[in-house]
Structure 1
């Protein structure tokens, strides 16, 4: 859109190398449903090609695929040797049920996948299913993130769907320290109502004025793996202990990006760093690796200890990088699927 094209030009003049974001968005379908530029909706008809609209819909066209909804999986059961999963136990409509299969793939997300396997502890796996390494639930990572508003009172942001631009000038190395800092990309177009919701004391008229003249940016830095940053299950409840890391690098990314925005002609720059309650690409709790002593699954996402158990979500990532991991997760799941199809 013209407003974003102008921002791209301003960034280039400031010495930055902006690039278009790779997004699974059918923008015409998105805007047909609603003239909104916010990016947090899971779906607006078929405009955002998320897991439901894309791969799940395609899979359900196959005669050998079915979907059970409204179910809560509580544990996996194994045979007496503990070397093979025999059933997934779940509750639906208050009734306990079981599904048996030859192969099981767990893909509930970094927190829930780890919790499920920990709840599935048995005599053969007393510390949790597939947890001989004691790494299950450990190394939880959750990106360090900040929202930044770059405001130019002289220029209105007329874009509708602005989340189309990013730059990685500080991703691999800061020009002064040499250390990697992270990614910077546009948020969805922030409205006055969104600002008001996040800053209740802000007058509504001022929130609208700021929104009209601002560009929202999302700054992401890598969270580092730490075995003490972990998911546990205590008395049936999931307990999170996130040991935050790498904040000095994130704070430097904020300073560098603020300088970029001011060089690009935005005299007012506001920031808000997200805290522990913000879920930002959680990963790492069932890390993959070649060594069964230090990892939960193999590079094919298969449990080192249980031949018919796979983990095919963000749990397996050994590091978090500093970008949305969706494409990496998809690639790993496709790789695991190829292995499963040959088994």
Structure 2
């Protein structure tokens, strides 16, 4: 039976239903979505689709255990919004408004940078954030599963840059907080191609709004323009807000009504001392917990809060230690030995 449960996890199914003739509708929707992904995003390859299926299982399981432990989503009063713009008021303007609304809801003034998108997602909103390797094409994804919405961040490709990674997380947060269920489409995948394009040039209104939300959340137009005009150094402004050079230039251009052009702003080389002087987000946004995880060789998708929730659930007898060990692909002894180290990595799971 444990073998069948493992197979279920690999293809995104809830292992509790493996022996039941009919699986939950949500799993059918995810399976159908995965089947169609190749046509929508391009030739992703079997490995990427398999990883997304496994991530769907992680997301559903993490949400279920979080509910049982009383660790619930806190939307801070923010609700899905079906406004995707008109010819008079385009989608990107709605993205700006929703980002401003989000900053007000969490008490973050416009001139204050988001110190950590990872903490904002996991700690402030209580949203599931999963890391995995999805190849070089996909930036991130959002998953709607069993009344839980989760964010997936790719460890590969352009996300190796902390600035792209922050934009990816902010973009997916915009989808997750504000896209109605019918737009989130159970599993929504975003590629890197859209992330750094000026949002007014993006034809898809849903993506246009999410892009605008991301840059305005990270660096509100009025604030980034004021900072740049005061410092006169785009590298310093990029480092202050943690928004990449290209979207930062677009924000400043738009905020100045075109008075300041992207070509007039010179960014220091990423390997220069000047760049390192202002780049301070790498530690706060690190997703590389797998490098020093107490369970050697653990999959990236299970190395985050998922593992901590599994350990706490076993400690509180919500699940057995055998189940926790199975989820973390180790032995019962290995799971118990790793418990203290995992708790040190994710102390908020035990608060």
TM-score when normalising by structure 2: 0.24
TM-score when normalising by structure 1: 0.25
More strand by share: 1
Larger radius of gyration: 1
More helix by share: 2
